[in-house]
């Protein structure tokens, strides 16, 4: 469980839109869908946030129901049908608590001006996908701490309800998985309390990319004043923790508990990969520090005048094979994007101009200032969707265009060994 700024993938880089003659917008859109949900199934939408599940999540759900059926059958001594029903309910509530955890991250991120690209459940829990990384230690701390705070509320609520329906001693015995006779409701609430308490403590371990590691990064960032240094500190702590998990898993696998041992090894491997990636990313970001959008943009973008009649404009786009073009007014100010593939642009008003048809939200969504650091584009969702961003000055005048291909070349030139 955690948060992850989404980043442009290789496919988008290879199929980037050209600065002067864009290819097909649906290439970038396809790449986005693959990252946002193409590999997952949408389960719900809460607060405008897509909740999805990858195929691996269904495997975990099946295994969890199977194992919990055996546990509740032994703990309750009832029928197998009753145990199975409680196991399904327990697994469902467990994943609801994970979604609530990720919604905690997501809602605080939204309040800090970060767009959420969705929440996905997968093999090891869940992840809230942010369209950019945090920009201050305080922002990082608030977003990272929100998930564990929600989980803590779930623990307290489940425990309080169980104690209200029973007694503290009975709930404690059930939570310890002692062989005591309890009602199905108490068994369910006790298990839910225990599993969420374990997840809370695990997530608070100061090892990146766990929530505790991100909190540690925020603290190191604030103390050192250097985001990259804070990331390296938290990342190396994450690598150490991953090695410890793998070692503990190997010990369990060859001694008493092969199942959990293998689980620890695989989880440790994934945590180690995430921590290593964070360290490498911090090092790489330092190498391109100081490079701005203006340094890599094309200063002569292809444009279309806003006063152009809409019908001839569409014909021109179709003739050139362009799915979109930037629109400017008579003074060169950027008005937005004319999208030839959008259904809501299919109008028949003969008197309508290009300026009337542009998406007004595009004026801000697909625009960036020339002084913007290049590394800020690495997590730009609009950049990934369109394949390019329009560069404007302080007066809103279009002064260039920066494409994914240009960013890719700049990153390749800054890579170690070049």
Write out the binding residues.
101, 105, 211
Return binding residues for Zn(2+). Answer: 101, 105, 211
Question: How far, in Å, CA of 105 to CA of 144, rounded?
Answer: 6
Peptide bond into 125 cis (omega under 30): no
Candidates 15, 34, 82, 102; catalytic one: 102
The torsion angles phi and psi of 273, rounded to 5 degrees, stand at -65, -40
Question: How far, in Å, CA of 292 to CA of 281, rounded?
Answer: 18
CA dihedral 23, 25, 26, 31 (to 10 degrees): 100
Question: How far, in Å, CA of 72 to CA of 85, rounded?
Answer: 10
Parallel, antiparallel, or unpaired: how do β-strands 116-122 and 49-53 relate?
Answer: parallel
- Whether 102 sits among the annotated catalytic residues: the reply is yes
Q: Which residues of 12-33 are buried (b: 16+ CB within 10 A; e: fewer)?
A: bbebbbbbeebebbebbbebbe
Among 95, 327, 282, which residue's Cα sits nearest to residue 192?
95
CA dihedral 54, 59, 60, 62 (to 10 degrees): 130
Q: Cα angle at 95 between 199 and 105, to 5 degrees?
A: 65
Tokens representing 121 are 């459940």
Question: How far, in Å, CA of 323 to CA of 317, rounded?
Answer: 7
The sign of the dihedral angle between the CA atoms of 90, 94, 95, 97 is: positive
Q: Where are the beta strands (DSSP E) in 165-319?
A: 303-305
Query: Which residues carry out catalysis?
Result: 102
């Amino acid at each position: 469980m955690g948060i992850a700024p989404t980043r442009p993938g290789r496919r988008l880089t290879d199929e980037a839109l050209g600065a002067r003659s864009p290819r097909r917008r649906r290439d970038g859109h396809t790449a986005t869908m693959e990252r946002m949900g193409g590999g997952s199934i949408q389960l719900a939408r809460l607060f405008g946030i897509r909740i999805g599940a990858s195929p691996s999540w269904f495997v975990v759900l099946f295994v969890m129901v199977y194992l919990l059926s055996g546990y509740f059958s032994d703990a309750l001594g009832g029928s197998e049908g009753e145990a199975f029903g409680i196991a399904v309910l327990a697994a469902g509530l467990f994943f609801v608590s994970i979604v609530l955890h990720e919604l905690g991250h997501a809602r605080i991120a939204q309040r800090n001006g970060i767009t959420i690209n969705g929440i996905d459940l997968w093999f090891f829990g869940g992840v809230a996908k942010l369209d950019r990384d945090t920009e201050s230690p305080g922002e990082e701390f608030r977003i990272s701490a929100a998930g564990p705070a929600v989980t803590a509320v779930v623990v307290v609520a489940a425990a309080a309800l169980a104690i209200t329906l029973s007694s503290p001693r009975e709930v404690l015995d059930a939570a310890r998985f002692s062989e005591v006779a309890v009602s199905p409701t108490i068994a369910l609430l006790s298990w839910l309390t225990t599993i969420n308490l374990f997840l809370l403590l695990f997530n608070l371990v100061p090892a990146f990319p766990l929530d505790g590691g991100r909190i540690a990064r925020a603290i190191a960032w604030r103390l050192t004043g250097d985001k990259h240094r804070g990331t390296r500190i938290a990342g190396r702590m994450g690598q150490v923790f991953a090695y410890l998990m793998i070692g503990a898993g190997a010990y369990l696998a060859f001694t008493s508990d092969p199942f959990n041992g293998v689980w620890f090894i695989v989880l440790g491997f994934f945590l180690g990969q995430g921590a290593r990636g964070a360290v490498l990313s911090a090092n790489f970001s330092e190498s391109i520090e100081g490079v701005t959008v203006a340094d890599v943009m094309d200063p002569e973008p292809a444009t279309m005048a806003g006063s152009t009649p809409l019908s001839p404009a569409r014909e021109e786009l179709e003739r050139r094979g362009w799915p979109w073009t930037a629109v400017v007014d008579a003074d060169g100010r950027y008005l937005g994007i004319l999208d030839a593939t959008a259904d809501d642009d299919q109008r028949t008003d003969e008197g309508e101009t290009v300026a009337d048809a542009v998406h007004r939200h595009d004026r801000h969504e697909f625009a960036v200032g020339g002084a913007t650091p290049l590394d800020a584009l690495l997590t730009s969702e609009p950049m990934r969707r369109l394949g390019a961003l329009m560069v404007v000055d302080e007066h809103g005048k279009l002064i260039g265009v920066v494409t994914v291909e240009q960013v890719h070349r700049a990153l390749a030139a800054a890579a170690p060994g070049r």
